[in-house]
Amino acid sequence: MSQLFDSYKASYGEAVEGSIRFSGLKHEFFLAAKADLLRRLVTERRLRRGGAIVRALDVGCGVGSLHPYLDGVFERLDGCDVSQESILRASEHNPDVVYKTCGALRLPYDDSVFDLAFASCVVHHVSPASWLDFFREMRRVVRPGGVACIIEHNPYNPLTRLAVFRCPFDQDAVLLNAVKAAALFRQAGFRDVRYEHFLLLPSARRFARYLERALAPLPLGAQYACSARV
């Protein structure tokens, strides 16, 4: 997997843009929506209390495309990826983020050091036989009371499936739905599991976001977020 993503270190954005061009939306729209969701997660899950430091980890961060949209959300943001070339590029563009290369299933961090660990469109690249190990490893690095979150493609959305089909580095993708993700969180020992679908409407306007939230329990949006507490 690392060799595959090493080869896209300089063209990752172009590859993603090509896969979603039919939607008429830019990659930035999807990145901003994910950042908004993570920002809301910090508040709703009460991870920031009385100005306490929130340290977050982006598992499988790639070239760090999401990180400029998270400016100011966390006191400290770490990122790790199996692709050394992607990490080098991410470091160049996001000097305030602390990056490390990681193994396929072992994260290079001590136990219980993060308030939040999240993985955005990563699990579908992991072999299904290793999904539970992936969730357990996220749990290991999150402190008691902290939260883990995955953001994944919704396999029930036909436009999402088209985008995955068109994306050159998603050829190995095995999509999992929100119910399966929630079950994996529980199997890994998490509690208070929640999920919501989003990216249903091609607009960032307040009414569109309000309508998306109202329909979030239904498997309609292009992606979903599933989170759980340690």
* pLDDT one-digit tens code per residue, 14-38: 655 545 554 556 789 999 999 999 9
The pLDDT, as a whole number, for residue 153 is: 96
Longest C-alpha distance within the chain, in Å?
45
pLDDT of residue 24: 57
Domain residues for 125?
Answer: 2-229
Closest C-alpha to 200, from 214, 185, 182: 214
Average pLDDT score over residue span 207-229: 92
Cβ neighbours for 216, distance < 8 A, ≥ 6 positions apart? 196, 197, 198
Are the CB atoms for 122 and 60 separated by under 8 Å? yes
58-107 confidence digits (pLDDT tens):
999 999 999 999 999 999 999 999 999 999 999 999 999 999 999 877 99
Q: What is the pLDDT of residue 7?
A: 46
Query: Which residues are bridge partners to 114 per DSSP?
Result: 142
Q: How many domains does the chain have?
A: 1
Angle at 90 between CA 120 and CA 125, to 5 degrees: 35
More confident site: 173 or 3: 173
Residues of the chain above pLDDT 90, percent: 70
Q: β-strand 223-229 against 142-153: which pairing, if any?
A: antiparallel
Task: Give the angle 183-219-105 at the CA atoms, nearest 5°.
Answer: 40
CB atoms inside a 10 Å sphere around CB 156:
16
Return the CATH number at 194: 3.40.50.150
The pLDDT assigned to 167 comes to 81
Residue with tokens 């990681």: 102
